[in-house]
Structure 1
Amino acid sequence: MAENEGPIRFGIMGCAEIARKVSRAILLSPNAALVAVASRTIDKAKQFALGNKLPESVKLYGSYGELLDDPLVDAVYMPLPTTLHSKWAVMAAQKGKHLLLEKPTALDVKVLDEMLQSCETNGVQFMDGSMWYHHPRTAKMKDLLSNSHVFGPLKAIHSSSSYHPPPDFLENNVRVKAELDGLGALGDAGWYCIGAILWSMNRKLPTTVTALPTAVRNSAGVILSCSASMIWDEDETVATFFCSFLAHETMSLAVCASNGTLNVDDLIIPYEETAAGFSYTSGAKFVDLHIGWNVKPQHVQVETKLPQEALMIQEFSRLVKDVKYHGGRPDTSWAETSRSTQLVLDAVKNSIDDGYKAVKM
């Protein structure tokens, strides 16, 4: 950093469990600093700071508005329940705070558009908290998928994100409360699946989205498990995904192209922080008598000095620094990525609500 360019100063709005990971990431990122934490009460903010061993220099606030009024806060990380995003995201943008918003971004794209419009009007950077995009493994996989000689046109994609929490989660967690996070597993885990599929398709929206007749809801109507299919007519490509609070841990992505396949089992959270891998096969054929294959999968390992959460903070801070110190404009590609994901998520939700009918995009 130049001498006149300090780190981007973050405030955290809300002490959700995920904020523990992100506060650590801010402290690890070389171009960011954690300067403030806000909760609904000062006691909760103090408990968060103590439990995560935050520096004594971090200011603690007993309301979100106080944090937004702090002139020393450049950017906010917001892990609030989804139903609260609109109010506080718009207010943050109006206060000139750059916005790192936890996913799912909104209950529907209309609400997201209001937030994105406020960010654009006030010239602040927007990004959602999907950390896996920022791992160097992701860029390596994209390079391979873009190589027409290795893979060719994509034909089928499948993604899965699921976990089976203890019974208390299904009774009391924010993500199963209709008034707080009404999208349930679709918003929490399905966001990753949809994002991974669209990433594979270079963010091109599908022609048709159809939820499969397997959705499970709780007594409040919140989705606990669901599946859906997507079709790209022009590309002759199909994708499916499964997301659930009722199944064993999965974080997978499988891509099948005309000349190759790619598989990753730990897409969302790598098995370890310092390295992450995937496998791919190209030009595979059966040998004579079909008793084996002519090639075996190649395994690729990608190392990283910083965990993906810190890399997300580093990239976000780099974009904010360009706006703050160099007169740059916010990078809207991250908003477009979130909006594409939200559009497909909305289509899945609408298909479920409409008796699993196909939704044209």
Structure 2
Amino acid sequence: MAETPIRFGILGCADIARKQSKAINLSPNSILYAIGSRSLDKAKKFAEENGFPASAKIYGSYEAVLDDPDVDVVYVPLPTSLHVQWAVLAAKKKKHLLLEKPVALNVAEFDQIVEACEANGVQFMDGTMWMHHPRTAKMNEFLSDTQRFGQLKAVQSFFSFPGDDYFLKNNIRVKPGLDGLGALGDAGWYCIRSILWATNDELPKTVTALHGPVINEAGVILACGSSLQWEDGKTATFHCSFLSHLTMDITAVGTKGTLHVHDFIIPFDEKSASFSTICQIGFKERALPSQNVVTTDLSQEVCMVRELSRLVKSIKENGSKPESKWPSMSRKTQLILDAVKASIDKGFEPVQVGA
């Protein structure tokens, strides 16, 4: 007997929702069940173009999706300024949450979302897709290997892409009333998460924004960077930008080895993603880095949906508690993001990261 799939509803018709709709369709334990938009015609068009089954519910409001008793999970790809409103309401309606990043404009808003999720026993997960690619688990193995990698000493992360004139003037990511965190919230989120991932989710003691951020006339960050410092001497730096060539790099340096990955956001080859490692090499030795290839039949988006659906199914059918590591990761990422912004606002002074 076939298992009952987890039923997803989507709030809004954002472009990124097209990718997630495809992932929900391809995941073996989920189904596209409902779409809601402020325009019924827009919702119908979105469903037709993105593979929704004929039985899918089409709604002319976000509220209608949340009021549908058969919707298990709500995917929220709305502008960041709307997250706290709709994510809290979804949780109160007992809907599990897949929330696009950045999760909120600040950690105080995110805490409202988490409190609502905890009070209503629903699972929270943000849309940081690369965390779910099987390559990430293999890279974890290397970073955890004290014989080959040793102890982590430094991390560098870089995510940029060149926005064209239309993007830089009209995209929601450059509008203060929609996604006011700009490149820091969009691209910087990934960089910060990669640093936390490499440090086993250990928060730094201080964050210091780098001089020279690029800020548009509306006050939204288009490019910026930061350094992070830990009490034990570890350091990290990142740069994020809407103004530079597409670059998606992580470098993690240990006492005995180094890891490099050049496409951590979206693998150049989704089904055959790679990373390089090099170990125990000094100036006198000569050796090529080892190329490590991880194959998969499912994209990282599908892996994310599959994992969330598994967690939701366990809660529904077995009475399991929501997995706490996902909101914890999101909150730590938001804390560092807030600290970077605070450092910029304070003239690039070091800012202590709160708990």
- Taking structure 1 as the reference length, the TM-score comes to 0.96
Partner deviation per Cα, 1:71-102 (whole Å, 9 max, x = no partner): 11000110000000001000000000000000
Q: Give the whole-Å Cα distance in 1 for the aligned partners of 2:164 and 2:110.
A: 31
Quote the residue 1:13 is aligned against. Answer: 11
Q: Give the whole-Å Cα distance in 2 for the aligned partners of 1:309 and 1:188.
A: 17
Contact residue 10 and residue 77 of structure 1 kept, 8 A: yes
* Matching residue within 86, 89, 92 for 2:87: 89
Structure 1 residues 45-54 or 154-163, which shifts more?
45-54
Q: Give the whole-Å Cα distance in 2 for the aligned partners of 1:272 and 1:24.
A: 18
Amino acid of the residue matched to residue 140 of structure 1? K
Quote the residue 1:262 is aligned against. Answer: 259
1:216 paired with 2:214, answer yes
Computed over aligned residues only, the root mean square deviation of the Cα atoms, in angstroms, reads 0.9
Partner deviation per Cα, 1:209-253 (whole Å, 9 max, x = no partner): 00001111111100000000001122x111000000000001110
Quote the residue 2:240 is aligned against. Answer: 243
Q: Give the whole-Å Cα distance in 2 for the aligned partners of 1:198 and 1:82.
A: 22
Structure 1 residues 71-80 or 51-60, which shifts more?
51-60
Contact residue 161 and residue 241 of structure 2 kept, 8 A: yes
Q: How do 1:310-329 and structure 2 match up within 5 A?
A: 310-329=302-321
1:348 paired with 2:337, answer no
Q: How do 1:142-181 and structure 2 match up within 5 A?
A: 142-181=140-179
1:281 paired with 2:278, answer yes
Amino acid of the residue matched to residue 330 of structure 1? P
Partner SS state of residue 130, structure 2:
helix
Contact residue 285 and residue 295 of structure 1 kept, 8 A: no
Q: Give the whole-Å Cα distance in 2 for the aligned partners of 1:286 and 1:353.
A: 42
Number of aligned pairs?
A: 353
Q: Give the whole-Å Cα distance in 2 for the aligned partners of 1:277 and 1:339.
A: 29
Quote the residue 1:98 is aligned against. Answer: 96
Quote the residue 1:290 is aligned against. Answer: none
State the 1:51 CA deviation. Answer: 2.3
Q: Give the whole-Å Cα distance in 2 for the aligned partners of 1:44 and 1:332.
A: 35
Q: Give the whole-Å Cα distance in 2 for the aligned partners of 1:168 and 1:48.
A: 23
Unpaired segments ≥5 residues, structure 2: none
State the 1:50 CA deviation. Answer: 2.3
* Matching residue within 41, 44, 47 for 1:43: 41
Q: Give the whole-Å Cα distance in 2 for the aligned partners of 1:294 and 1:175.
A: 45
Contact residue 213 and residue 221 of structure 2 kept, 8 A: yes
Quote the residue 1:137 is aligned against. Answer: 135
Partner SS state of residue 169, structure 1:
helix
Q: Give the whole-Å Cα distance in 2 for the aligned partners of 1:173 and 1:50.
A: 24
Partner deviation per Cα, 1:42-88 (whole Å, 9 max, x = no partner): 11111212222322222111100001001110001100000000010
- Taking structure 2 as the reference length, the TM-score comes to 0.98
Amino acid of the residue matched to residue 204 of structure 1? E
Contact residue 77 and residue 99 of structure 2 kept, 8 A: yes
